[in-house]
Amino acid sequence: MSAPPTPATLPEEPENPPGVHSVWIINKSGGLVFRDVYADIAPIDTNETLRLASMWHSMHAIAAQLGPELRGELPSETDGFHLHCAQTPTGTKLMLTCAPGTFADHDAGQAVLRTVRDLYADYVMKNPFYEAEMPIRCELFEKRLRDAIDAVNGAA
C-alpha cells in the first residue's frame, strides 16, 4: 500500500451531471461486452472498465448467495452516483449508473433497464452477425439505446 495521496494531489471532483450517466452490459462469465456514456462524467480507461465489470459480477454472485430474493436487481448507492442492475434469466447483467435522485425509486430504475433489455433482445440478439457473449458492436443498438437514454435524461 502506498501512502494515501495528500488532498492537494487529488483530482478535482468532476461535476456530477444529472440523469443517467452510463449503461453497462456484462455477459454471463463476467466480461464487459458493452458500455456507453450519456453524460459528461470523468472518463475511465478501458482496462479499468473491464476490471470494474468483473468485480461487480463477482460481488453480484456473492450477494445472490446471501439474498436470493433480490433476483439480480441489486441496487448500489454512493454519494456520487447510484447504480441499478438487472439480470436476465440467461445470466446477462444490465446496469446503469446515474446521478443520485434520478429515479424516484428502485422500480423506476428497473423500468429503464427493461427498455435496455428490450433493445438488447431486438438489436443485439436478433442481429445475425452478433456472436453470443462477445463485445457488442451494433450501431443500431447503440443508436436506439442513446435515443432511449436521452429521452430519459431529457424528461428528468
Partner 1 sequence: MASRRAGAKTYEQVGLAAWQATEKVNAELFTLTYGAIVRQVLADYEDCVPEANAKLDAMGRSIGGRLIEEFNAKNEQQRCVDFRDTCETIAGVALRMFLGVGGHCADWNADHTSCLVVMETNPLADFVELPERYRDLSYGQMLCGVIVGALEQVQTRATCEWEKDALRGGDGFAMRVTLVGQIDTPYPFDD
Which residues in this chain contact partner 1 in the complex, by CB under 8 A?
28-30, 54, 57-58, 61-62, 65, 71, 88-92, 114, 117-118, 120-122, 125-126, 132
Q: What would the DSSP string read from start to end of 101-126?
A: TSSSSHHHHHHHHHHHHHHIIIIIIT
CB of 149 to partner 1, least distance (A): 17
Note the Cα 148 to chain centre separation in Å.
15
> Which residues, at least 6 apart from 124, have a Cβ–Cβ distance to it below 8 Å?
130, 136, 138, 141
Q: Which is nearer to partner 1, 71 or 137 (CB)?
A: 71
CB of 141 to partner 1, least distance (A): 12
Q: Which is nearer to partner 1, 40 or 133 (CB)?
A: 133
* Helix or strand (DSSP H, E) at 14: none
User: Which residue has 476490471 as its cell numbers?
Assistant: 51
Q: Which is nearer to partner 1, 31 or 80 (CB)?
A: 31
CB of 34 to partner 1, least distance (A): 14
Selection from 33, 16, 37 nearest residue 149 by Cα: 37
Q: Which is nearer to partner 1, 28 or 50 (CB)?
A: 28
CB of 46 to partner 1, least distance (A): 20
